[in-house]
Structure 1
Amino acid sequence: MTRKLAGERLVIATHNAGKLKEISALLAPYGIDCVSAGELGLPEPEETGTTFVENALLKAHAAAKAANLPALADDSGMSVTALAGRPGVYTADWAERQWFEGEPGRDWFMAMGKVEGLLTQLGPDTDRSCWFSCVLAIAWPDGESAVYEGRVEGQFTWPPRGTMGFGYDPAFVPAGHDETFAELPPEAKHRISHRADAFAKLVAEQFQQ
């Protein structure tokens, strides 16, 4: 991959305010002007991929084509060892309310509760190790693209703790720490997260000589 971003406007292919804030903070030192797909009124493509890579590329290409600008998409999720890697690529789907669970939308506490319920069924000595994966995909309007993958190991904890994260952050304690991602200050999380790992690889290729 030889193509590089250079002071361009970049579409962040998300409608998730927490994810946009985190990605924009990571890109801020490089002078990239970020705008979200939500701010541009772009539709959210159906995530039909069966892997994080497939979904990240799908979202990046859709946003790049619709906005006629380079686009960066993130597909990420939690995988739990004892649940054979679930929810994995379906992490967000586990937060979707069914018709009998209230108004449409995502309920992350419910999603974390589903994980806890399955682990509880397996017994008190069940392995609670898990990991967050992140795939960043950059796409240009002409169809060129690049992919960067990151990962962070940790433990699933219950009950959820903290208010500074989003998604499954309140139930994830990264390896080597006592606080959940939602208890850590954002700058501390940014240094160790799966997204930070993927961004380090993106930065090495896109912004460093």
Structure 2
Amino acid sequence: MPARGAHRRLEPGRLVLASHNAGKLREVAALLAPHGLQVVSAGELGLPEPAETETTFLGNATIKALAAARAAGLPALADDSGFSVASLGGDPGVRTADWAMLPGGGRDYAMAMAKVAALAEPHADRRAWFTCALVLAWPDGHAEGFEGEIHGRWVFPPRGTNGFGYDPMFVPEGGAQTFGEMAPAAKHADNHRARAFALLAAACLPPAG
């Protein structure tokens, strides 16, 4: 699991994003660019996706970050994030991507959102939240972990074509638009990933230029 105590600072240079998700790559690369970090994805390097066998976001992010750092010989950042619905006991949670999995491979998030709505619709409770765990790892096995959340409510049918995953069915507290309706800059300014990233940047990243 990520180390506790004194934080290790990352030097400017190349960083592997331990993800094959193009949406996450765009979002994380935009966050890292001001810190002098050039991001290459695990997909671009042809790295395999390790099995995510942990039961927490931080646990799965740690698996991915360490695997990428050791395989590439570079510092690696992994994101494990998910969508949770209160009336479903926090599901899909760490199995967010699994709920979208198709029998023949690939993912269908429209199907996953419909499944969430069908299960949650009988309940009056519309509370929902996104969680993001970010883990930064080095090839020597050192790892640092940070977690952020944003709360709001789920809506159906989905609205908007921006973002990715379950974004079109989530409205953050105090807002009227779903993440799928928001302009990317507005979503990135305050979401679960931005909150986790703020903690990571303060502890481990070189100052923004």
Q: Give the percent of matched residue pairs that are identical in Structure 1 and Structure 2.
A: 58
TM-fit CA distance, 1:40: 0.3
Give the distance between the partners of 1:208 and 1:34, measured in 2 at CA: 14
TM (norm. structure 2) is 0.94
Distance 2:96 2:33 in 1: 27
Query: How far apart are residue 206 of structure 1 and its match?
Result: 1.7
Moved over 4 A (4+): none
Match of 2:110 in 1: 109
Deviation at 1:97, TM superposition (A): 1.2
The question of 1:28 aligning with 2:29 is answered no
Is 1:200 equivalent to 2:195 in the alignment? Answer: no
Work out the CA distance in 1 between the residues paired with 2:78 and 2:132: 10
- The match for 1:67 is 72
Query: Are 1:137 and 2:142 an aligned pair?
Result: no
Q: Note the C-alpha offset of 1:38.
A: 0.2
Task: Within 5 Å, give how 1:171-190 maps onto structure 2.
Answer: 171-190=169-188
Q: Partner residue of 2:82?
A: 77
Measure, in 2, the Cα distance between the counterparts of 1:53 and 1:2.
17
1:31 Cα offset (Å): 1.1
Secondary structure in structure 2 of the residue aligned to 1:155: strand
Contact 2:9 2:206 in 1 (8 A): no
Higher relative contact order (CA 8 A, sep 6+): 2
Partner AA of 1:112 in structure 2 = M
What residue ranges of structure 1 are gaps of 5+ in the alignment?
none
**Distance in structure 2 (CA, Å) of the matches to 1:113 and 1:2:** 42
Q: Give, in angstroms, the shift of residue 32 of structure 1.
A: 0.2
| Structure 2 gap ranges (5+) | 1-5
1:58 aligns with 2:63: yes
Q: Secondary structure at the match of 1:23?
A: helix
2:34 is paired with a residue of what secondary structure? helix
Amino acid at match of 2:141: G
Q: From 7, 32, 49, give the equivalent of 2:54.
A: 49
Deviation, 1:208, is 6.3
1:86-101 superposed matches below 5 A? 86-98=91-103
User: Is the aligned partner of 1:37 residue 2:42?
Assistant: yes
TM-score by length of 1: 0.94
1:106-147 deviation line (CA, Å, top 9, x unaligned):
000001011000012x24xx1011100000001100000000
